Structure 1
Amino acid sequence: MPEFSRAVIDVARNMLWKREAQEQGGLLSGQDPSAVNTNDPLRLWIIQVGVIILTTQLLALGLRKIRQPKVIAEVIGGILLGPTAFGRIPGFTQHIFPQDSRPFLSLVANIGLCLFLFLVGLEIDAAVIKRNARLSVTVAMAGMCLPFGLGAALAVPLYNTFIDPSVKFTNFMLFTGVAYSITAFPVLCRILTELKLLDTTVGIVVLSAGVGNDIIGWTLLALSVALVNAGSGLMALWILLTCVGWTLFLLFIVKRILYWLARRTGSIRDGPTMFFMTITILLLFGSAFFTDIIGVHAIFGAFLAGIIVPREGGLAIALTEKLEDMVSIIFLPLYFTLSGLSTDLGLLNNGITWGYTVAICALAYSGKFGGCTVAAKFAGFSWREASTIGSLMSCKGLVELIVLNVGLSAGILSQRVFSMFVLEALLLTFMTTPAVTILYPPEMRVRASPTGSNFANVRDGAQGGEAGVQNRTNADTGDKRTRFTVVLDKIEHLPGMMALTQLILPPPPSYTPSDPHTLASDVVDSKTSSPAPSISSTGPSIDAIRVLELSDRTSAVMKSSNVEQLVATDPLLDIFGTFGALHGVPVSSSLAIVPFEDLGASVSDHARRNDSHLILVPWLPPHYSVVTVPMQDNASPEGPTTPRVAPSHNPFDALFRATSAGADEHDVSLSHSQFIRGLFSSSKTDVALFVDRHQPGGVAKNSHTGTYRLFVPFFGGPDDRLALDFAVQLCANPRISAIVARVTKRDTELAPTGSQEKAKIVDDERLGESHTQHNTTTIASVFPDTVYGHATTQTRLQSETADNIAWARYTRSDDPSLAPALSRMEFDEASTPTPLHYLIERALAMSEDAADENSRLLILTGRSRRLAVENHHAELKTVLEEHGGVGNEVKRTVGDVTTALVVSGCQASMIVFQTALKSE
């Protein structure tokens, strides 16, 4: 009775299936969480995502150190998880990436791919091509035609050797040509930004050519897919015409509607609203759906949707910020893993295959490099610049991998040929950064002039040569500094920068009410007298630079390529510009978006190019939890409480450092300290660090009358001489007075020259630099942090002679131009065995006096005593034991004198000076 048997089997199957569906024990009931369940694929999918993300992120941590883009880590991670490496482990593929689970993985990956192509469309700005069409079109066309021809030529032997005859040769040739001729625009933007080439003539041409290359490449890919999916040539024509019609519909109708909607909803002014985001996402997937059903890949529709989003008001950047994290963290690694599962480098197992692989790599690079280099040289670039353009245009990255995956899914490429091309894309992308670094070093770079045409340019370092030497010469002779570079990076630093900037401004002319009877005569006198010089012509000029860290996000790269628009809309620059306008001082604004390790060098280069006299940079020292300090016998019970021991530094911070330092106040200050020390170590311009001691959000205890009292401790050395010169300049303001104390050490308790104690001190200071490895090389080779000079007779004589000349210039000066300032300054000398304790007592006393007078105390110190002999290490250790310790970053940032004042509890703000670095 087979019918009965079948009925029993069906009932039993239904009962078992029902029991399995009702089972909720999961792992506790003995179920395998990695088992494939097509009705509930979430468990296995989470396992797959975890493995993929961990693998790619660990690889990215290592490759980031050699300045490789993240796409390299994602491609290598996908290959390792495939049959090339981990797939050879018994049971790995069957449990982690079984064949039945790949449709779900592919669905999510393709959704992510559509989102990524939408972001690529957001990145592309047609205005870039229009501004630089003369040169970029030539380079883009040469970079497309020659590689396409070489790819088509190589397709003949590849087709005859590796491709099944059922595949049409024309389809294979077209895919090979597109893979050869395309350039990875997203990865190219990232490399240009990291290497600081976006504002060079080379970077402008490459960026413009890359945009055009990308648009043509996607168009050719759409044509290739249409030819593959069409059954006949007439059907291919219909597909192509439909695609063109859809593109025109989006560009000329939907784009206008989307712009109207963005203005209507306020998305351009205030960022994308929820309704605008909903319409945009629907448009994205609707366009992808339409291009997919007509026979063109869905990614082309997503790409078109990104192009038509309005760029006004930074709307495209805001949309990117909302989508990019999920795409880059989850979706793209999934897509690369799918590529890796189809990539088996073990198939490259014979000489013929490796010969063709070498030929693919050589022809792909030589085609792009040769075509773009010759075109750039023909356009007027030097051979070095032209070869750099060729190397950058050879970058393949993600875009070629997408083309290859489309060809593989269409059945045009075999797995062996697919693996050969994946290796070529990986190699050419890996080569881009080191090749450009060698071919186009910073000293050879030509930057576009901010005025005139795009390519009326000057070389890096052209200013800062003779001008820089003259600049430093003027500074050494004590001439007035009038050109300042003000660094703005965080909103909490803005009050301090405003306060410091106000000090350097000339005082406003005094106003006396006029007698109405003398008003007419005053008018007559004003007509006959010569006009007074304006502040803008004789006073200081300020260049405000906003520094932003370049993160791994696509939006950061988009911001770096739209600096002109960001400068006009940045709130910090807007506030500071308004502050300058209210005081009648010209303020020029600029913005720099560079990697964290290059922030200091970027500010230094900017100040040198603008021939600045002094860089003003803010710093809020870290605030630690206050611990009660045992009072000494002579301590006052009403004395200020001081911080005790700083928290220890996490050794993994440098490795896993995020884009922002996080919510922890100490971490924020530590991150900013590393930036400041990088600026100190690389600056060829004088630097003034404003240590702002006010508590953000706090209320001042006393009203402030606008008067300042300066305290300048003078030990000697170039940094202290700079502090003295600046104090004299500030005292030209009638509301500022100063006390200058020249302090000398009376006894010789310091260790003798060359002793083990001094060597240990220097070693201790250099130790601990390991947590900032991004700057260790620069600091150690240029100027170690606050390490004192060698105690030689020649050094002592040089330092003392220069100090005596600077001291005598102001204490015995007959210069009438200095008389008003010197009349508000007091000079005294003190000799003490404990100079730091003397300064602390003096500063605390002056702080109390300033509070009684409703004025503010400002302390001006030098950062270190280069070219001087004596140091304060031994006494500073005693001060720290008495008042409590601070983090090592404080001492390394501001030096020993300022550290002693900080831990003493003195709430006065301080300006720490470092002179321009010169060969010593």
Structure 2
Amino acid sequence: MREFSGTILDIAERALRTREATEQGGLLSGQDPTAINLNDPLRLWIVQVGVIVLTTQILALGLRKIRQPKVIAEVIGGILLGPTAFGRVPGFTQHIFPQDSRPFLSLVANIGLCLFLFLVGLEIDAAIIKRNARLSVTVAMAGMCLPFGFGAALAVPLYNTFIDHSVKFTNFMLFTGVAYSITAFPVLCRILTELKLLDTTVGIVVLSAGVGNDIIGWTLLALSVALVNAGSGLMALWILMVCVGWTLFLLFVVKRALLWLARRTGSTRDGPTMFFMTVTMLLLFGSAFFTDIIGVHAIFGAFLAGIIVPREGGLAIALTEKLEDMVSIIFLPLYFTISGLSTDLGLLDNGITWGYTVAICSLAYIGKFGGCTLASRWAGFSWREASTIGSLMSCKGLVELIVLNVGLSAGILSPRVFSMFVLEALLLTFMTTPAVEFLYPPHMRVRATATGAPYTTATDGPQGTEGVMQRSEGFNQAREEDSSRRSRFTVVLDKIEHLPGMMALTQLILPPPPPYASRAAAASSTLEGSSAMLKTELSTSPLPSTPAVNIDAIRLIELSDRTSAVMKGSNTEHLLTTDPLLDIFTTFGALHGVPVSNSLAIVTFDDLGSSVAEHAKRNDSQLILVPWLPPHYSMDVTPSQGTNAASSGDHANAGAVTPRAGHMPNPFEALFRATSPGQDHTDVSALHSQFVRSLFAATHTDVALFVDRHMPGGHKLTQAGTYHLFVPFFGGPDDRLALEFAVQLCVNPKISATVVRVTKREDEPEQSGENEKQQIIADEPTIHHNTMFPDTVYANATTQTRLQSETADNIAWSRYTHASAFADPTLAPALSRMDFSEVGTPEPLRYTIKQALGMSRSVVDERGRLLILAGRSRRLAVENHHAELKSVMEEHGGLANEVKRTVGDVATALVVSGCQASLIVFQASVSADRE
């Protein structure tokens, strides 16, 4: 039995041994997860990608603060991960970037490089060169020839000092010349967009010249690679001829076939379909494969594939949006890390090397800067503009690094020379943005229009600034003569949800139509067939005295880190004609006979407010209309609310109960998100608040923030289109602006208004007769202190400024309430539909809330809409409502302090009270208050 049992145990032991799994090298078994496994390199590759992406993103966060492009962070990150910095840490390179893992890393990086060159081809639009051929060709050729000559001249001492003579001098000279003469078109587009130069004459010329420079540069690179790979001159000629033939085949045959396929599949209308994307990817890698096997680098084939993609219907931008994230986040940092692993700045260890490095950097900048500057000056630009063009064209970026890496992999460049040129590319790219900001500040820029020789310009320089100031003075004088009339408006459009509110507000500001229709009907009934008499009567009828309304709609698009956003910035002409928001709003204006001029701003979020302010100033706008619409709320009402409202039977409270989302509902909670618990709303609220307040701080134009509080599921809009305005007048420049705007709106027969001058009285209770006029008792001077955030354009309020403001309030009030005002033919029609009253009360905010709630109910019963016009009154206001507002907020529910600082005390009180009327919050410009 013992032998049997022993045999059984032996068999079982052997069976278990044979069924035991092979060791997989897991972390729990004690093995190093970064150990290279050539059969399964995925784990180490993931570690490498994580290190690379984290390093580049951290660097990009810091460099973004000084407005440097992301490529700078990627290049520096690659250098730091190489032997220059982290490579000197013992064991870092052996564990993270071992030599055996380089081929896998290089394979993925080169796939990403082909995709990136495909995106570069998508960015290039030959129509830009055609439109600006005369200037762009001159600048592009001058920016190629002189740097190429400098590079060829410098190649002689570099070749004799640092290059192995087994390398042909002609090959080295070609690579040096190409590296000197090339311009980084993708980085250049990014810099032009961020600096808001795309709509200037300088930006147009640089963009056009950059496109031509890029095409010539890649062609020269293909020629250089062909010469390196060819064994003889005849073979190089064959390679070049085959490459030219392939290029022509793509441009004239495949391009047309691809356009036909895009139209047939609906890709030009609805974006690229799956089938079209499949064909495009096959074409991309097929072209890269062909150019690689004939002796030209694969990236040239990928670049050609991007050029032939149709631009119709924004197809190129849509393709870029589908590919750019993976390329920019993963593939490009990998490629720059490969470059960084080959870059060792420690090789620059002696005086001769540093002397040549300085010479390389100096000649590269002088050649590019000098050639483009002289060509631009010869073309008619000023020295400042010409030097700006030269500085922009000196941008190297990742394009030169690609050229250098091709030369390094071909054995033409030594590691020492490669490191010298990498430092030059990094330095010149870093210099571009600060040099342009110094040479071409915003107040000296010349903006281009559609026509001219070479351009019709609108100068923002000293002369242009003087002209703007003169026009502004004229506007202010006109404002003093007839302050209730504004005819030039800038409408800000951000989202499709803004359109209904902006259409409604725009319709209100339109002048009322002349009573031609009724007269024409009467004439047609009595004079049947007498069309000639009717035409004569209508032609001799007096025209309305109100000025024509001009509306400028500006579409805001935030400039992100994506390439597609940059492409949109360089393709604004197409977007202006295809953007759905602008198209709908323009159609709305055409239906009402109002000219609407469209414009588009693609800038970073921090510059959105200043861009709107500059645009309004440039277009001589008198009022900026900024829309905002609350998001869709859940229509569930909390049980306690329903019970309280039903039991009390108080219609005021019932009307205040609004759709809730688990907390006090008001549009600014969704806007600023400061009181929303438990959700990721804080970032959205802070960003939108920053935009609104930055606009308030930056603009020198009157601003009206329109909050349309009509929510889905609420009461239906009136079909009659009647409005009733409620203007609580507390005093100050903002309230005076609200009063003027109310008078202008009431010219429309469908609009009426109630204006109440509310004064705070400490010694008397609230009067029962709300509409009785009473004498105003002045309050003691109140000083409003500044906040840390410069969210207003007003100075500190003092006793003197307060008295001046009160005097201006009295003048503005008497202008519309005095008996002589009703005899003024320009004011009488509007004033006949307005009720003015003065009320003194110890609680002005509560009085305003009570009046607003009461008017809201009565207007709804009359099938109309209530619109409240209030001043922002952050400073220079007559009354200080801080204590009462705090009490109101404690009574109705908390609200973020961000809201109060953005819209002011009066609007905040109305928001927290639950009043569902829409609001317009005004801020008057500085010039309007200089009296």
Q: Normalization by structure 1: what TM-score?
A: 0.90
Q: Which residue type is aligned with residue 789 of structure 1?
A: N
Using the alignment, how far apart are the partners of 2:101 and 2:562 within structure 1? 30
Paired position in structure 1 for 2:345? 345
Q: Indicate the SS of the match to 2:552.
A: strand
Tell me by how many angstroms 1:907 deviates.
Answer: 0.6
2:273 corresponds to 1:273: yes
Using the alignment, how far apart are the partners of 2:445 and 2:668 within structure 1? 42
Paired position in structure 1 for 2:703? 687
Paired position in structure 2 for 1:675? 691
2:740 corresponds to 1:725: yes
Q: Which residue type is aligned with residue 490 of structure 1?
A: K
Q: Aligned match of 1:498 in 491, 498, 503?
A: 503
Paired position in structure 1 for 2:493? 488
The farther-off stretch of 668-677 and 126-135 is 668-677
Paired position in structure 2 for 1:250? 250
2:550 corresponds to 1:527: no
Tell me by how many angstroms 1:752 deviates.
Answer: 7.6
Using the alignment, how far apart are the partners of 1:733 and 1:646 within structure 2? 30
Q: Aligned match of 1:741 in 756, 760, 770?
A: 756
Paired position in structure 1 for 2:729? 714
- Count of residue pairs the alignment pairs up: 873
Using the alignment, how far apart are the partners of 1:723 and 1:800 within structure 2? 16
The farther-off stretch of 30-39 and 295-304 is 30-39
2:820 corresponds to 1:795: no
Tell me by how many angstroms 1:638 deviates.
Answer: 3.9
Using the alignment, how far apart are the partners of 2:757 and 2:508 within structure 1? 23
Contact 1:229 1:295 in 2 (8 A): yes
Give the alignment of 1:331-410 within 5 angstroms: 331-410=331-410
Contact 2:511 2:546 in 1 (8 A): no
Tell me by how many angstroms 1:522 deviates.
Answer: 5.9
Q: Indicate the SS of the match to 1:484.
A: strand
Give the alignment of 1:319-338 within 5 angstroms: 319-338=319-338
Q: Which residue type is aligned with residue 605 of structure 1?
A: E
Tell me by how many angstroms 1:83 deviates.
Answer: 0.7
Contact 1:646 1:885 in 2 (8 A): no
Contact 1:704 1:856 in 2 (8 A): no
Paired position in structure 2 for 1:518? 526
Using the alignment, how far apart are the partners of 1:149 and 1:653 within structure 2? 59
Q: Indicate the SS of the match to 1:684.
A: coil
Paired position in structure 2 for 1:84? 84
Change in 2 beyond 3 A, CA 1:537/1:872 = closer
Q: Aligned match of 1:560 in 546, 552, 569?
A: 569
Q: Which residue type is aligned with residue 492 of structure 1?
A: E
Using the alignment, how far apart are the partners of 1:334 and 1:19 within structure 2? 41
Contact 2:373 2:386 in 1 (8 A): yes
Tell me by how many angstroms 1:508 deviates.
Answer: 4.0
Tell me by how many angstroms 1:877 deviates.
Answer: 1.3
Contact 2:194 2:603 in 1 (8 A): yes
Paired position in structure 2 for 1:42? 42
Using the alignment, how far apart are the partners of 1:575 and 1:19 within structure 2? 71
Tell me by how many angstroms 1:888 deviates.
Answer: 2.9
Q: Indicate the SS of the match to 2:54.
A: helix
Using the alignment, how far apart are the partners of 1:21 and 1:284 within structure 2? 43
Tell me by how many angstroms 1:517 deviates.
Answer: 5.5
Tell me by how many angstroms 1:691 deviates.
Answer: 1.2
Paired position in structure 2 for 1:135? 135
Give the alignment of 1:3-402 within 5 angstroms: 22-24=22-24, 26-402=26-402
What whole-Å deviation, never above 9, does each CA across 1:810-833 have from its counterpart, x for those lacking one? 111131221111011000001112
Paired position in structure 2 for 1:885? 894
Tell me by how many angstroms 1:895 deviates.
Answer: 1.0
Tell me by how many angstroms 1:472 deviates.
Answer: 3.0
Using the alignment, how far apart are the partners of 2:717 and 2:207 within structure 1? 55
Q: Indicate the SS of the match to 2:528.
A: helix
Tell me by how many angstroms 1:649 deviates.
Answer: 12
Tell me by how many angstroms 1:392 deviates.
Answer: 0.4
Change in 2 beyond 3 A, CA 1:733/1:647 = closer
2:842 corresponds to 1:836: no
Q: Indicate the SS of the match to 2:785.
A: helix
The CA RMSD over aligned residues, in Å, is 3.0
Using the alignment, how far apart are the partners of 1:718 and 1:500 within structure 2? 22
Q: Indicate the SS of the match to 1:564.
A: helix
Q: Indicate the SS of the match to 1:831.
A: strand
Using the alignment, how far apart are the partners of 2:26 and 2:251 within structure 1? 52
Tell me by how many angstroms 1:699 deviates.
Answer: 4.3
Using the alignment, how far apart are the partners of 1:445 and 1:250 within structure 2? 40
Contact 1:619 1:672 in 2 (8 A): no
Using the alignment, how far apart are the partners of 1:476 and 1:369 within structure 2? 51
Using the alignment, how far apart are the partners of 2:795 and 2:762 within structure 1? 19
Contact 1:740 1:825 in 2 (8 A): yes
Change in 2 beyond 3 A, CA 1:576/1:181 = same
Tell me by how many angstroms 1:426 deviates.
Answer: 0.4
Tell me by how many angstroms 1:260 deviates.
Answer: 1.2
Using the alignment, how far apart are the partners of 2:620 and 2:106 within structure 1? 56
Using the alignment, how far apart are the partners of 2:590 and 2:561 within structure 1? 36
Using the alignment, how far apart are the partners of 2:168 and 2:913 within structure 1? 82
What whole-Å deviation, never above 9, does each CA across 1:88-128 have from its counterpart, x for those lacking one? 11111111111111101000000000000010011111111
Change in 2 beyond 3 A, CA 1:350/1:762 = same
Paired position in structure 1 for 2:552? 543
Contact 2:900 2:908 in 1 (8 A): yes
Using the alignment, how far apart are the partners of 1:858 and 1:824 within structure 2? 15
Contact 2:151 2:180 in 1 (8 A): yes
Tell me by how many angstroms 1:887 deviates.
Answer: 2.3
Tell me by how many angstroms 1:581 deviates.
Answer: 2.0
Which consecutive residues of structure 1, in runs of 5 or more, have no partner in the other structure?
Answer: 1-14, 655-662, 770-779
Q: Which residue type is aligned with residue 677 of structure 1?
A: R
Q: Indicate the SS of the match to 2:755.
A: strand
What whole-Å deviation, never above 9, does each CA across 1:490-537 have from its counterpart, x for those lacking one? 111111111111111233456545487513276343232252578999
The farther-off stretch of 518-527 and 558-567 is 518-527
Which consecutive residues of structure 2, in runs of 5 or more, have no partner in the other structure?
Answer: 1-14, 765-777
Change in 2 beyond 3 A, CA 1:580/1:396 = same
What whole-Å deviation, never above 9, does each CA across 1:411-447 have from its counterpart, x for those lacking one? 1111111111101100000000000000000111111
Change in 2 beyond 3 A, CA 1:475/1:647 = closer
Using the alignment, how far apart are the partners of 1:35 and 1:321 within structure 2? 36
Paired position in structure 1 for 2:909? 900
Tell me by how many angstroms 1:168 deviates.
Answer: 1.1
What whole-Å deviation, never above 9, does each CA across 1:755-813 have from its counterpart, x for those lacking one? xxx6xx736x42xx4xxxxxxxxxx3xxx348773222x21221111111111111111
Contact 1:448 1:456 in 2 (8 A): yes
Contact 1:621 1:890 in 2 (8 A): no
Tell me by how many angstroms 1:25 deviates.
Answer: 6.9
Q: Indicate the SS of the match to 2:866.
A: strand
Contact 1:727 1:738 in 2 (8 A): yes
Paired position in structure 1 for 2:785? 762
Change in 2 beyond 3 A, CA 1:605/1:230 = same
Tell me by how many angstroms 1:468 deviates.
Answer: 2.1
What whole-Å deviation, never above 9, does each CA across 1:607-666 have from its counterpart, x for those lacking one? 22222221111023589999989999999764624855999999x999xxxxxxxx9666
Using the alignment, how far apart are the partners of 2:18 and 2:434 within structure 1? 60
Q: Which residue type is aligned with residue 575 of structure 2?
A: L
What whole-Å deviation, never above 9, does each CA across 1:295-323 have from its counterpart, x for those lacking one? 00000000011111111111111111111
Tell me by how many angstroms 1:454 deviates.
Answer: 4.8
Paired position in structure 2 for 1:11? none
Using the alignment, how far apart are the partners of 1:537 and 1:723 within structure 2? 19
Q: Indicate the SS of the match to 1:710.
A: strand
Using the alignment, how far apart are the partners of 2:52 and 2:480 within structure 1? 58
Tell me by how many angstroms 1:23 deviates.
Answer: 3.4
Contact 1:272 1:319 in 2 (8 A): yes
